[in-house]
A and B are shown apart, each in its own frame.
Chain A
Amino acid sequence: MPADHTLRVDSNDPIGASWFLLTLSSDVDLPRWEPGQFTMLSLGDRQDPLLRRPFSIYNLPEAERPARAVQILYKILGRGTALLSRVPPGASLAALLPLGRGFRPARQPGDRIVLVAGGVGVASLHPLAAFEAREGRPPLLLFGCRSADEMPGARATRALGVETLISTDDGSEGARGLVSDLLDAVLRERGAAGKILCVCGPTPMMSASADVARRHGARCHLSLESSMACGFGVCVGCVVGVRRGGSPAITYRRTCIDGPVMDASEIVW
């Protein structure tokens, strides 16, 4: 069951170009979450900005015992994240968690997960990488970012022993170009059979990756991003259009409750 937890800021440290790793702790056991679930984090007791902000939960609870720490990997992208970056250790923040539907890919023995991360989208995929690594089947990571100065954002995921291929917009590290093009090349070289793509990043990057997946006939799950007011289903503001069961009709599904992870083949871009 999700609940509102008051968490203490243990650290809130920059890790390279405008990226931060926030570590929050609780005095009590936290409910278990699954990779891809998120939290609605308060920015403190303020009315401007009014709304909490959704963040993927970055860390994976240990298998044996409940977590008492929550990590959030974020990048300063707007006013909310800029304010968050100035929250000092010792402060308290309210966090509604765990929210949403995470990664639950239906899989056959031998299937391999391919993580496709656009920038700070790696935050949603990292706990899945940790889970897969713990189960003894490390995934493949395709990490796309602006330039080499954002590479520290993927350091922890690579440290899990995950094979990693890089693309940067400016070619300063790895292949020059879009990570969706890198995905296309990887599927062409290695084939799409037995691969399950799990994608998170900016919407144009996810749309392009979903298109690549469709062309290769690859199974593909997206962790969608959307503006949210509540994060638990009541505002109906974060919807995405989906088509299901071959019907031409578009229905609007809530990213927060029906997602954030959804089947790429259903999304209407």
Chain B
Amino acid sequence: MSGPPDLSVTLGPLKLRNPVLTASGTCGYGEELAPYFDPALLGGIVTKSLSLHPREGNRPPRLAETPSGMLNSIGLQNVGVEAFLREKLPFLERCGTAIIPSIFGATVEEFAELAARLDDVAGIAALELNVSCPNTSRGGTEFGVDPDSTRRVTAAVRGRTRLPIIVKLSPNVTDITIVARAAAEGGADVLSLVNTFFGMRIDVERRRPILSSGSGGLSGPAIRPMAVHLTHRLARAVPIPLIGIGGIGGPEDALEFILAGASAVQVGTATFVDPRAAAKTVAGLADYCRRHDVTRLQDLVGKVHRAEDEGCAKP
């Protein structure tokens, strides 16, 4: 094989150097990761979700460890869109990678206003709509579990921005393909999946939930098989590029999602355990391509063999 493998990826109107992004809520606004690796190694950075106004978030405790995973209930603590533009974006712009603000509104109009505010800002590659946060009492997941709301939010944002729109889907639904189709009808260019699963832990000595909010969002390796399954299912249901998320900590994990049908991936909770997890994933994907004589990583998207093709499952 000649030359390095081509890791670049095209997600509709969004072009990335490679398919590895850091997931919203796990990389701040980029600054805290910069001591550990060069962000230019990444395909992109999806920021902590931004709201129109700063949010203080939920009372602690906000974290609870679970078997091979963790629950969080941060409550979208963030600096607000104006402080983001003033204080955070200048650093991100210098990172040399695609910058994708995640936005969160309590109403359709708030989502639309955020999109409008970010539309003509230089240095932004796309928007990710967080319609699926499980940790807010209003808005958030209420949009993401309802197809009509998801369609309306996406359409409202579509009407106010020329940027590529990524809609981040909740796994806490009966049929993810229904919400996905609604997002596509609303004008989504890309779908990312999945946000965290609802979860709860209880301190049996005190007979109280560990999280101040009762329940929170489950992430980490524990959810990976469920996220791979949903990615595989959705890739066969909608003709729209997907970004896989859920317990990805290295190249093998990323490849599971890519083979299942995701064009790109986001590394989330793994960054907490190893701040270089996303950069190591990029390097590992290149190694995999070399070992398997793959010249273009994108050729592998959705290329998992069906079990029956192997002929071994039949009696």
Residues of A at under 8 Å CB distance from B? Answer: 1-4, 42, 47-52, 94, 96, 226-230, 232-241, 250-252, 257
Contacts and interface: CB of A to CB of B under 8 A. Distances in A.
Interface stretch (B70-78, B94-102, B136-144, B292-300): B70-78
Given A96-B275, A234-B26, A50 B60 contact: no
Contacts of A47: 68, 220-221
A233 B59 contact: no
A227 B272 CA distance: 13
A4 B74 CA distance: 26
* Minimum-distance CB pairs A-B, first 7: A237-B63, A230-B272, A233-B32, A229-B272, A234-B28, A47-B68, A237-B62
Given A239-B77, A252-B60, A48 B68 contact: yes
A251 B28 CA distance: 17
A204 B57 CA distance: 24
B26 A1 contact: no
Contacts of B90: none
B77 A235 contact: no
Given A232-B32, A235-B74, A239-B62, 9 more contacts: A47-B220, A50-B68, A50-B69, A51-B70, A234-B27, A235-B63, A236-B28, A237-B60, A237-B63
Contacts of B221: 47, 50
17 contacts: A42-B273, A47-B220, A50-B269, A94-B274, A96-B275, A232-B35, A234-B26, A234-B27, A234-B33, A236-B25, A236-B28, A239-B57, A239-B60, A240-B60, A241-B59, A241-B60, A250-B56
Contacts of A50: 65, 68-70, 220-221, 269, 273
A166 to B, nearest CB: 29
Given A52-B273, A235-B272, A4 B62 contact: no
A237 B211 CA distance: 11
A236 B275 contact: no
Interface of B: 25-28, 32-33, 35-36, 48, 56-57, 59-65, 67-70, 72, 74, 77, 220-221, 269, 271-276
Contact of A51 (B27, B61, B77, B272): B272
B226 to A, nearest CB: 16
A22 to B, nearest CB: 20
A234 B60 CA distance: 16
Main secondary structure of the interface of A (DSSP, over half): loop
A1 to B, nearest CB: 5
Contacts of A232: 32, 35, 275
Contacts of B274: 4, 94
Contacts of B72: 229, 235, 237
A238 B62 CA distance: 7
Contacts of B74: 235-237
A240 B48 CA distance: 19
Nearest to B31: A233
B273 A236 contact: no
A259 to B, nearest CB: 13
Contacts of A236: 25, 28, 48, 57, 62, 74, 77
A251 B55 CA distance: 9
B63 A234 contact: no
B57 A252 contact: yes
B251 to A, nearest CB: 16
A3 B36 CA distance: 6
Nearest to A94: B274
A234 B29 CA distance: 8
B239 to A, nearest CB: 34
A239 to B, nearest CB: 5
A228 B57 contact: no
Contacts of B62: 236-239
Nearest to A78: B65
A234 B57 contact: no
Contacts of A252: 56-57, 60, 77
B198 to A, nearest CB: 17
Nearest to A80: B65
B63 A228 contact: yes
A78 B65 CA distance: 12
A238 B32 CA distance: 15
Contacts of B67: 48
